[in-house]
Amino acid sequence: MTGEKIGPACTFCGQPITGESPERPNPCDYCGSVSGGYSHLVNLTGAIAGAAVGYVEGASYPQVLLGIARFLLARNDDKLCGLATIVAHLACEIALERSLSDSFSRKRIQSFEDAVANILNGYNPANEMVRNLYTSVTGDEIQEQPFWGNFSRSAKRRDNIIRKGLIVGRTDAEESIKSASDFLAHLTA
């Protein structure tokens, strides 16, 4: 499977959308999402391979994911802006989870890691419970960093893309990628 879709399909549930023009997406008849469909080919394999080429050796998953988000944004396709935002935040969640795991190991409380993972509902740094755990374990009050306001706003945007089918434009996606980049730079500093 190559990840290709031909014809318009809901970007939320994947069902075909009929009669949609690229300028004005119709709501999906199946799930009601207003996220629109793709009226052209989207080759995700090419996107991922193209973005990861510069990261073949020594790159972390968060670095590769941020590269993929930048690649998606560079495609100059407004329908990819939401996906670029989601991928950028996924990079942050993975980096935060790894940072916590490293901290558990350094403190020699690895057994605590599994118990915490079972309690948490993901590793979104904007989630207060996750952030409080991170601050307690690492001593890093990340919410005090200069980038935090933009990051927090971007995290809400990402949630609205996923949960409500929010369509974001280039400016919002650029802000999300910048705030994710700042977040990752802080975690790896």
Residue pLDDT, tens place only, 177-187: 999 999 999 99
Whole-number percent of the chain with pLDDT over 90: 50
Residue among 160, 152, 154, 97 at smallest CA distance from 127: 152
Q: What pLDDT does 118 receive?
A: 85
Cβ atoms of residues 29 and 46 within 8 Å: no
What is the pTM assigned to this prediction? Answer: 0.73
Q: How far is CA 27 from CA 81, 173, 176, 189, in A?
A: 18, 22, 25, 44
SS3 161: helix
Across the range 108-128, mean pLDDT stands at 88
Sign of the torsion formed by the C-alpha atoms of 26, 28, 32 and 34: negative
The residues, any chain, with a CB within 8 Å of residue 140's CB and separated by 6 or more, are: 134
d(CA 35, CA 11): 6
Q: What pLDDT does 4 receive?
A: 44
